[in-house]
């Protein structure tokens, strides 16, 4: 192998060196465009191949890796192009374009001999061939574009090579690089919400920061990302330069009047122990959410916290989620739950309703109130916009604590009307992870909107007799 000089940036260096001895590991790295991520996954392969045990037969450190990309054009134009820049045919190894080893590069250096297979996932046949391989390592370029089922199946193929006669696999695992995806992708849950113990995530810094990586290899150096951002949308810049997970632009947001620059607080909000605390509640076994808020005397709604959970019934939500949060942050507060009116309906196999469980003193003993028994979407949207479109003496009528990440992402577009196959918007929002906090927020706003309307009507009713009395007195 010809001499190759490569100095990885700090984050990529740590990514390359990490592995778990003798067991399956998963390492993922995300960063801005142009940050050297793809090169990093290649040199991690060199490092991991050098750690394999020597074959007792001939002393070679044998391994096999498959490098996967979701389409053939992307594999050919980006992944293979980057590979060929560093590992040249005839110098770093041998390239086999066709049979008997199609799209395979046999990487050779020192006592290392590693078969590197390049595979696209264009068709069902391509996927089937990838999932039948016996490899030491699996490497995903732009991993956010790869389906969960494929990742799971590929993991089961790692460590299958080399055979026992050649010493077997000493270390095996899967890794990959990508720009951030969307928060409603399964990858976001996997990496941030439910990260398994054998998964490690590496995040490169924003391209705008002084510590941005790989600048020496980019045209314009430190000015590269500044010039790249010109003409791009805020969404694109945050996702592909600032390394923030985005949200899908498909469909249309349910709430178009939300502005995070206005409606999201810059610092954590402090609850008031003298004001009622209300939680809008969207129940459901597959997914549910509670959004907690208070309304001050000027009519401003402050959203203070959120709970989002999956695969939990009402009793577990109360014991494992709701009671601990109330004890920690809102102990002793006057607390009311405003749920979906459907929560008061009995199921076909249980005479108790969710509301019964919430009110049951042995379970929760909570106060439950409905502003009305109508849960139609237009009424909830109207209630939310009652707060997103008004100003109070204290500023915007809606202010959300930055800790409420699910609700903020829902209002930014995660909660959206689904686009039909004909390119038209559906009548109902798409059912995804953000529909639950969106619905719960609607119930919270509906509760406070009705409270405001009832108070206004009461004041009007009380004021009318007084005006008549005064007028009659003046006339006499």
* Token reading at 49: 């191949």
Confirm whether 53 is domain-assigned. yes
Look at residue 299 and tell me if it is in a domain.
yes
Residues 159 and 211 in one domain: yes
Integer CA distances (angstroms), 338 to 279, 302, 385, 388, 444, in order: 6, 16, 18, 20, 6
CATH number at residue 188: 3.40.50.300
Sign of CA dihedral 210, 216, 222, 228: negative
Residue 475 belongs to some domain of the structure = no
The answer to whether 253 touches 415, Cβ cutoff 8 Å, is: yes
8 A C-beta contact, residue 265 and residue 402? yes
How big is the CA angle at 257 (ends 420 and 250), to the nearest 5 degrees? 25
Beta bridge partners of residue 347, listed in sequence order: 350
319 and 223 in a common domain: no
What number of other Cβ atoms are within 10 A of residue 74's Cβ? Answer: 17
Residue 467 lies in a domain: no
The confidence score (pLDDT) of residue 187 equals 94
Q: Are residues 271 and 420 in the same domain?
A: yes
Shared-domain flag, residues 96 and 148: yes
Q: In the structure encoding, which two tokens stand for residue 420, read together?
A: 């039909």
* Phi, psi values for residue 445, rounded to 5°: -65, -40
Residues 205 and 278 in one domain: no
Sign of CA dihedral 398, 236, 145, 251: positive
One DSSP character per residue, 276-320 reads -EEEEEE--SS-EEEEEEEE-TTS-EEEEEEEEESS--HHHIIII
> Are 277 and 212 members of one domain?
no
Are 266 and 192 part of one and the same domain?
Answer: no
Tokens of 276: 């009622």
pLDDT of residue 386: 94
Question: In degrees rounded to 5, what are phi and psi of residue 138?
Answer: -125, 135
Residue 273 and residue 221 share a domain: no
Model pLDDT, residue 474: 37
Return the pLDDT at 460. 64
Same domain for 221 and 161: yes
Q: Domain containing 343 — which CATH number? A: 3.30.420.280
Full-model pTM: 0.67
Classify strands 398-400 and 199-203 as parallel, antiparallel or unpaired.
unpaired
- β-strands 425-429, 416-419 pairing: antiparallel
Residue 166 pLDDT? 87
Model pLDDT, residue 456: 61
* Cβ contact 278:448 at 8 Å: yes
State how far the Cα of 87 lies from the Cα of 107, in Å rounded to an integer: 8
192 C-beta neighbours (distance < 10 Å), count = 12
In tens digits, the chain (476 residues) has pLDDT values of 567 889 999 999 999 999 999 999 999 999 999 999 999 999 999 999 999 999 999 999 999 999 999 999 999 999 999 999 999 999 999 999 876 778 999 999 999 999 999 999 988 888 888 888 999 999 999 999 999 999 999 999 999 999 988 889 999 999 999 999 987 788 988 998 789 999 999 999 999 999 999 999 999 998 999 999 999 988 889 899 999 887 666 668 899 999 988 999 999 999 999 999 999 999 988 889 999 999 999 999 999 999 999 888 889 999 999 999 999 999 999 999 999 998 877 654 455 788 999 999 888 899 999 877 888 899 999 999 999 999 999 899 999 999 999 999 899 888 988 766 566 677 788 888 889 999 999 999 999 998 776 666 666 666 555 444 444 333 33
Q: In this structure, what token pair is assigned to residue 244?
A: 């923030």
Q: Are residues 110 and 216 in the same domain?
A: yes
Q: Of 297, 368, 289, 302, nearest to 336 (Cα)?
A: 368
Q: How far apart are alpha carbons 267 and 273 in whole angstroms?
A: 19
Q: How many CA atoms lie within 13 A of 222 on its CB side?
A: 3
Could you tell me the residue range of the domain that residue 358 belongs to? 253-459
- The domain tally of the chain equals 2
In this structure, are residues 31 and 129 in contact, taking their beta carbons and an 8 Å threshold?
Answer: no
Question: Based on the domain organization, do 196 and 295 belong to the same domain?
Answer: no
> Does some domain include residue 238?
no
* One domain, residues 140 and 284: no
């Amino acid at each position: 192998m010809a001499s190759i000089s490569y100095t990885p940036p700090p984050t990529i260096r740590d990514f390359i060196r990490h592995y778990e001895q003798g067991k399956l590991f998963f390492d993922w790295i995300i960063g801005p465009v142009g940050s050297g991520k793809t090169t990093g996954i290649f040199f991690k392969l060199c490092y991991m191949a050098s750690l394999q045990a020597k074959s007792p037969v001939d002393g070679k450190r044998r391994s096999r890796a498959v490098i996967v990309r979701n389409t053939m054009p992307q594999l050919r134009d980006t992944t293979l192009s980057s590979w060929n820049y560093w590992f040249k045919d005839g110098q770093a190894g041998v390239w086999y374009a066709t049979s008997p080893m199609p799209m395979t590069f046999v990487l050779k250096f020192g006592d290392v001999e590693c078969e590197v297979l390049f595979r696209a996932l264009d068709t069902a046949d391509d996927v089937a061939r990838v999932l039948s391989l016996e490899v030491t390592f699996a490497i995903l370029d732009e991993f956010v574009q790869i389906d969960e089922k494929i990742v799971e199946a590929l993991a089961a193929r790692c460590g299958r090579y080399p055979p026992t006669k050649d010493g077997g696999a000493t270390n095996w695992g899967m890794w990959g690089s990508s720009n951030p995806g969307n928060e409603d992708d399964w990858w976001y849950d996997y990496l941030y919400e439910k990260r398994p113990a054998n998964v490690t995530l590496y995040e490169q810094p924003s391209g705008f920061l002084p510590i941005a990586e790989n600048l020496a290899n980019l045209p314009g150096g430190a000015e590269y990302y500044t010039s790249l951002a010109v003409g791009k949308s805020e969404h694109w810049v945050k996702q592909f330069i600032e390394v923030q997970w985005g949200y899908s632009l498909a469909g249309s947001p349910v709430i178009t009047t939300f502005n995070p620059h206005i409606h999201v607080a810059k610092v954590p909000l402090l609850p008031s122990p003298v004001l009622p605390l209300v939680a809008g509640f969207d129940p459901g076994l597959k997914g549910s959410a509670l959004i907690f808020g208070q309304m001050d005397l000027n009519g401003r709604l402050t959203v203070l916290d959120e709970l989002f959970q999956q695969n939990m019934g009402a009793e577990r939500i109360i014991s494992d989620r709701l009671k601990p949060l109330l004890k920690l942050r809102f102990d002793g507060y006057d607390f009311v739950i405003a749920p979906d009116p459907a929560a008061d309906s009995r199921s076909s196999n249980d005479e108790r309703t969710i509301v019964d469980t919430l009110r049951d003193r042995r379970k929760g003993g909570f106060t439950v109130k409905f502003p009305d028994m109508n849960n139609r979407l237009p009424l909830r949207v109207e209630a939310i916009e009652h707060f997103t479109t008004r100003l109070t003496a204290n500023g915007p009528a809606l202010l959300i604590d930055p800790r409420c990440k699910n609700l903020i992402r829902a209002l930014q577009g995660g909660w959206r009307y689904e686009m039909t196959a004909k390119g038209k918007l559906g009548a109902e929002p798409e059912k995804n992870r953000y529909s639950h906090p969106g619905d719960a927020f609607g119930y919270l706003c509906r509760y406070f909107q009705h409270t405001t309307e009832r108070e206004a009507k009461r004041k009007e009713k009380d004021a009318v007799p007084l005006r008549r009395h005064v007028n009659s007195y003046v006339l006499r």
